[in-house]
């Protein structure tokens, strides 16, 4: 426990800067008048300050030498002749105008390119259950949830793919090296989900494993990838939601957007062409993570730092895969209509067509640590929520069907997509969890159930994508032990897994499959 | 009458006016040197790196966009050069000797490091650089706020932490003497 003197000593540097309120200054001065220890500490700080000033003065010679050295070097070098400047180097006054955002700083640049890269060395689809995380968001509109999941997908995306990096010059390894040096970045991020709504966020990321996103509705999300926690702040309601993601498999993938960017070269970021944007040269690289997900990076040819990045995720064609998503409002349980939560999960091919564009990059920005703290500001009501992020496997599907049949007096869903059909599942969850309790607690319980349903449907969608999924649960009731409800080909096996009407999971051979 | 604002100096420099560029150098030399010293922790190396940064900046000035962006841009160039230098030095030391300790920067011949300098160089980089820039660049919270892209309150907090940690390091040294 800190003593009063510890507190005083903590505040003394601020007093020397003259940044304390008068009342606090008086309080500290009173304390100093009768505390020899703090008084000595204050004198020592003043001595340090004077010595630092003297040190800086003593280094003025270094500064003069720098200026003289630069002056001499410029004298010796050829003077750039304005008449000799070609198209590539002659400054364009329009370009040198402040064409970037008024609040943009340092290296913010707006880059556009219409390059259409062709995917090369498309790797095989990753194994199921590898690194797809579910994101639980609190939004007023579900498109944000979907897009936010896409953003998380980008960070937590599927595992190591055997992409081939053709080590030609320029190499993405050089870009990765610059990203590794920078270790902090801010950028603008624009989401376009299907044809329709788009929105923009501002993101800052820094090592170790910290990310902060300012959402367009005014809320803020702070993520700590090391601890697996996320703090969601709602300034308008003065509420905060601290989420802890539990049950995730041991991470084998990069855990920060910066690490993910660096690692692209290991996965196969291929240089495809040089380009020019404005008066600058850029190198363009493409990473085709899987048949449905492509990342394009435009990197400044001089600094090797990204100036624009585009992620495009497309649904698997001709598969008609529903993206699992459920939204509930606190109002459903008698609470505030302004507080809505959504869960959705996406993965390669199981996604709405989404383009995420990042630009206005600023690198090497020194952010204040307070921006990434997982404690809410004073006066905020804090809720805590553990989110199960264990892999979605067949056990999760059984759990989802068990939950569903428990809410429907034993009836299986007509189609597996019903698990997340808003018109069907929402009334069921509200009926189950709405009671006389606190709406916040009821919403939390309902969202935990929604989490299970999301996971079950996502598993089924993966099997659909593989082409082995079959569902026959319509009109089947719980307890019918001999009736197969759904089946799919088991991973790395010639067998098929079946869930029967009594919710039993079993393996059968292809010969025994229902006709 | 010569260029008055930094933007005008940049424009004039691009037109070949070396005097205008020298004025930019004068405006930013202290801050750039402080950054280099904060990373390299060696005065002569920091001088060389700062000088190289400005020379490189002159060669690449056409790539600079946005008014009053010269300061952050040139500091980024300086930082990159310093990190490259450290990597080369580490490789050189590893190749030349197995026994040299890398825990402290090599002071080089003729360097007389006071306890204060030693303590400053032991600060973590996120405190060392702002502290050096503050004292070397005219003790301006506002310019440090712009450099770090944080609020003035954030600057004062950072400086407070730096001073407290510096005091702690100095006390520790005094006890070991």
Among B136, B154, B164, select the one facing A368 at the smallest CB separation. Answer: B154
Q: Strands (DSSP E) along A420-509, which ranges?
A: 470-471, 484-489, 496-500, 505-508
CA A296 to chain centroid? 17
Q: Are A108 and A361 in contact (CB under 8 A)?
A: yes
List the end-to-end C-alpha distance of chain A, in Å, as a whole number: 72
Residue A118's pLDDT is what?
A: 26
Q: Which of residues 107-146 of B touch A (CB under 8 A)?
A: 114, 116-117, 120, 126, 129-131, 135-136, 139, 141, 146
Residue A150's pLDDT is what?
A: 46
- Cis before A208? omega within 30: yes
Q: What are phi and psi of A231, to 5 degrees?
A: -115, 125
Dihedral sign for Cα atoms in the order A419, A423, A425, A428: negative
A40, with CB counted inside 10 A (0-12, 13-18, 19+), is exposed
pLDDT digits (tens, 9 = 90+) for B107-162: 333 334 478 888 898 888 888 988 998 888 877 787 788 777 778 888 888 888 89
Residue B89 Cα, gap to closest chain A Cα (Å): 16
A313: region left, alpha or beta (phi > 0 left; psi from -120 to 50 alpha): beta
Of A357 and B98, which is predicted with more confidence?
A357
Q: What value, to the nearest 5°, has the Cα angle with vertex A419 and ends A417 and A424?
A: 100
Mean pLDDT of B22-49: 90
Bridge partners of residue A185, in order along the sequence:
A205, A363
Cα–Cα distance measured from residue A63 to residue A156, given in angstroms and rounded to the nearest whole number: 47
Q: Are A149 and A143 in contact (CB under 8 A)?
A: no
At residue B2 the predicted structure's pLDDT band, cuts being 50, 70 and 90, is low
Instruction: Kindly give the pairing relationship between strand A239-246 and strand A381-388.
Output: parallel
Give the pair of three-digit tokens for residue A372: 């990434």
Angle, to 10 degrees, between the axis of helix A439-466 and the axis of helix A422-433? 140
Stated length of chain B: 177
What is the block-wise mean pLDDT of chain A (515 residues), using blocks of 10 residues?
A: 80 81 89 90 89 85 89 70 39 30 23 23 27 42 42 37 42 83 83 75 80 86 84 88 76 58 76 82 89 90 88 84 87 81 82 86 80 90 83 89 95 94 92 91 92 93 90 93 92 87 91 81
B72, with CB counted inside 10 A (0-12, 13-18, 19+), is buried
Provide CB contacts within 8 A for A333, sequence distance 6+: A430, A433, A434, A439, A442, A443, A446
At residue B101 the predicted structure's pLDDT band, cuts being 50, 70 and 90, is very low
- Test mutation, B62, B153, B157, chain A, max A CBs within 10 A: B62
ipTM of the complex: 0.84
Cα–Cα distance measured from residue A426 to residue A424, given in angstroms and rounded to the nearest whole number: 6
What SS3 class is residue A395?
helix
Q: Which of residues 40-69 of B touch A (CB under 8 A)?
A: 43, 46-47, 50-51, 54-55, 58, 60, 62-67, 69
What is the count of residue pairs from A and B with beta carbons less than 8 Å apart? Answer: 166
Q: Which of residues 64-83 of A touch B (CB under 8 A)?
A: 65-67, 69-71, 73-75, 79-82
Give the pair of three-digit tokens for residue A285: 């690289």
What pTM was estimated for this model as a whole?
0.51
Cα–Cα distance measured from residue A372 to residue A387, given in angstroms and rounded to the nearest whole number: 20
């Amino acid at each position: 426990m800190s003593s009063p003197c510890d507190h005083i000593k903590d505040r003394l540097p601020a007093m020397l800067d003259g940044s304390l309120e008068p009342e606090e200054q008086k309080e500290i001065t009173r304390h100093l008048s009768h505390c020899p220890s703090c008084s000595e500490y204050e004198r020592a700080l003043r001595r340090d300050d004077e010595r630092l000033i003297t040190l800086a003065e003593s280094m003025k010679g270094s500064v003069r030498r720098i200026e003289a050295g630069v002056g001499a070097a410029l004298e010796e070098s050829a003077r750039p002749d304005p008449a000799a400047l070609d198209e590539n180097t002659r400054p364009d006054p329009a370009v040198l105008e402040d064409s970037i955002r008024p609040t943009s700083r340092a290296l913010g640049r707006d880059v556009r390119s219409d390059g259409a890269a062709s995917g090369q060395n498309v790797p095989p689809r990753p194994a199921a259950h590898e690194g797809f995380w579910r994101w639980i968001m609190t939004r007023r509109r579900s498109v944000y949830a979907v897009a936010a999941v896409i953003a998380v997908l980008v960070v937590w995306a599927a595992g190591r793919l055997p992409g081939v990096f053709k080590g030609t010059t320029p190499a993405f390894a050089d870009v990765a090296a610059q990203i590794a040096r920078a270790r902090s970045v801010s950028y603008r991020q624009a989401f376009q989900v299907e044809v329709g709504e788009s929105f923009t966020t501002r993101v800052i990321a820094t090592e170790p494993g910290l990310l902060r996103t300012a959402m367009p509705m005014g809320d803020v999300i702070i993520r700590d990838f090391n601890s697996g926690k996320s703090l969601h702040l709602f300034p308008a309601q003065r509420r905060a939601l601290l989420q802890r993601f539990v049950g995730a498999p041991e991470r084998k993938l990069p855990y920060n957007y910066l690490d993910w960017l660096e690692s692209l070269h290991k996965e196969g970021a291929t240089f495809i062409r040089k380009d020019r944007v404005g008066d600058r040269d850029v190198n363009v690289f493409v990473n085709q993570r899987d048949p449905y997900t492509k990342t394009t990076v435009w990197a400044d040819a001089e600094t090797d730092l990204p100036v624009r990045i585009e992620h495009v995720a497309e649904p698997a064609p001709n598969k008609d895969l529903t993206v699992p998503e459920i939204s509930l409002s606190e109002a459903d349980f008698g609470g505030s209509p302004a507080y809505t939560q959504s869960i959705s999960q996406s993965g390669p091919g199981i996604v709405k067509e989404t383009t995420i564009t990042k630009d206005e990059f600023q690198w090497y920005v020194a952010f204040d640590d307070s921006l990434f703290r997982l404690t809410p500001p004073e006066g905020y009501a804090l809720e805590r929520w553990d989110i199960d992020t264990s892999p979605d496997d067949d056990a999760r599907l059984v759990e989802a069907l068990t939950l569903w049949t428990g809410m429907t007096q034993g009836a299986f869903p007509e189609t597996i997509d019903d698990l997340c059909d808003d018109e069907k599942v929402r009334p069921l969850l509200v009926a189950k969890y709405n009671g006389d309790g606190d709406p916040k607690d009821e919403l939390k319980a309902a969202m935990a159930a929604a989490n299970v349903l999301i996971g079950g449907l996502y598993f089924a969608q993966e099997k659909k994508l593989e082409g082995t999924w079959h569902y026959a649960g319509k009109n089947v009731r719980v307890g019918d032990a001999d009736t197969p409800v759904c089946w799919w080909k088991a991973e790395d096996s010639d067998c098929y897994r079946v869930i029967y009407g009594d919710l039993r999971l079993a393996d059968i051979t292809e010969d025994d499959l229902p006709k | 009458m010569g260029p008055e604002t930094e933007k005008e100096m940049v424009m004039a420099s691009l037109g070949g006016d070396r005097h205008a560029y020298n004025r930019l150098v004068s405006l930013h030399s202290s801050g750039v040197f402080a950054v280099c010293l904060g990373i390299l922790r060696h005065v002569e190396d920091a001088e060389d790196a700062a000088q190289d940064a400005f020379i490189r900046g002159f060669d690449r000035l056409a790539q600079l966009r946005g008014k009053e962006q010269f300061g952050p841009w040139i500091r980024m160039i300086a930082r990159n050069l310093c990190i490259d230098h450290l990597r080369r030095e580490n490789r050189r030391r590893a190749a030349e000797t197995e026994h040299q300790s890398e825990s402290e920067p090599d002071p080089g011949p003729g360097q007389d490091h006071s306890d204060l300098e030693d303590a400053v160089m032991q600060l973590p980089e996120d405190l060392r650089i702002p502290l050096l820039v503050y004292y070397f660049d005219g003790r301006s919270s506002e310019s440090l706020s712009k450099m770090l892209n944080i609020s003035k309150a954030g600057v004062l907090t950072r400086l407070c932490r730096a001073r407290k940690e510096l005091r702690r390091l100095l006390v520790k040294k005094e006890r070991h003497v």
